[in-house]
Chain A
């Protein structure tokens, strides 16, 4: 089975990003998610439950801010992969310059069930991508496949 990680062009871009961000702490490093997208059209990431991702009143479930963050990230990742597809063949520097401009415009989250579970899986699909703005739908499921939250986001395409 092929994944985005079999794609050399993708890997060289990720490598460029890693070397740039290596010694720089960022929020995404704190969340410590793993991207498991099977291909460029199915953005997918996994986060494991940790106590420092929990809400303070209820230590068994994800903080709602973390849920919003994960949905914001998988939506941005969907745009990232879509922009990457459009820019295939261009230099890694060019792609890096373009994708660093991807940013959130708005985000709407509906919390459907408490964020309980041992791991969580976020996926997204792009509803529309233009030259300037993309609109994405996001979902968060737990390890028992219960739908925890739904999101809709818009992003600048860069």
Chain B
């Protein structure tokens, strides 16, 4: 099976950010999402259920903030993949300079079901990318393929 990690250039760019993160763990390290995107047009992130992601201790469901964070990350990842395709072939520094400018402008989440499950998959599509702003749609499913939440996000493209 192919994934975006078969692309050496992409691997280098991701490793650059991972290395910064390993020196000083950020919130992304805490979330610990796996990049499962099969190709550059299909952003997919995976999340495993853990105790410190729980929101409602009575029902043991994902925290609403975690659901929002994962969907926000997926939208950002979708834009990252898109921008990477545009800067592919350029030196690493240029790719870094461009992709660090990706940032959230707004985010809307609809929580459809309680976040129960052992693992979760976030996926999405880019509705539109311009030179400055991109708009994405995001979805979160659990391992039983139940749709837990949907989101719409706006991001600066860099």
Is A104 in the interface zone, CB < 8 Å from B?
A: yes
Knowing A58-B100, A76-B64, A106-B109 are in contact, say whether A28-B55 is a contact too (CB < 8 A): yes
Shortest beta-carbon distance from A3 to chain B in Å: 25
Contact B54 A100 (CB under 8 A): no
Contact B30 A52 (CB under 8 A): yes
- Provide the A38-66 mask, 1 if CB < 8 A to any CB of B, else 0: 00000000000001111111110011111
Task: Tell me which residues across on chain B come within 8 A of A51, comparing CB atoms.
Answer: 24-26
- Provide the A108-142 mask, 1 if CB < 8 A to any CB of B, else 0: 11110010000000000000000000000000000
Residue pairs across A and B with CB atoms within 8 Å: the count is: 140
Contact A55 B69 (CB under 8 A): no
Is B1 in the interface zone, CB < 8 Å from A?
A: no
Contact B65 A73 (CB under 8 A): yes
Q: How far is the CA of A53 from the CA of B17 in the complex (A)?
A: 16
Task: Tell me which residues across on chain A come within 8 A of B25, comparing CB atoms.
Answer: 51-52
Shortest beta-carbon distance from B17 to chain A in Å: 6
Knowing A26-B51, A65-B69, A103-B111 are in contact, say whether A52-B57 is a contact too (CB < 8 A): no
Is A24 in the interface zone, CB < 8 Å from B?
A: yes
Q: Which of B20-74 contact A (CB under 8 A)?
A: 20-21, 24-31, 51-59, 61, 63-70, 72-73
Q: How far is the CA of A111 from the CA of B68 in the complex (A)?
A: 13
Chain B residue at minimal CB-CB distance from A65: B69
Knowing A106-B111, A111-B104 are in contact, say whether A24-B54 is a contact too (CB < 8 A): yes
Is A144 in the interface zone, CB < 8 Å from B?
A: no
Is B87 in the interface zone, CB < 8 Å from A?
A: no
- Provide the A61-78 mask, 1 if CB < 8 A to any CB of B, else 0: 011111011101100100
Is B143 in the interface zone, CB < 8 Å from A?
A: no
Q: How far is the CA of A59 from the CA of B27 in the complex (A)?
A: 10
Task: Tell me which residues across on chain A come within 8 A of B24, comparing CB atoms.
Answer: 51, 54, 59
Q: List 6 A-B contacts (CB under 8 A).
A: A25-B51, A26-B57, A64-B72, A103-B114, A105-B111, A106-B111
Please name 11 further chain A to chain B contacts, defined as beta carbons within 8 Å, in addition to the given A56-B28, A57-B100, A72-B63, sorted by A numbering. A27-B66, A51-B26, A52-B30, A56-B27, A57-B99, A59-B26, A64-B103, A65-B69, A103-B114, A106-B110, A108-B107
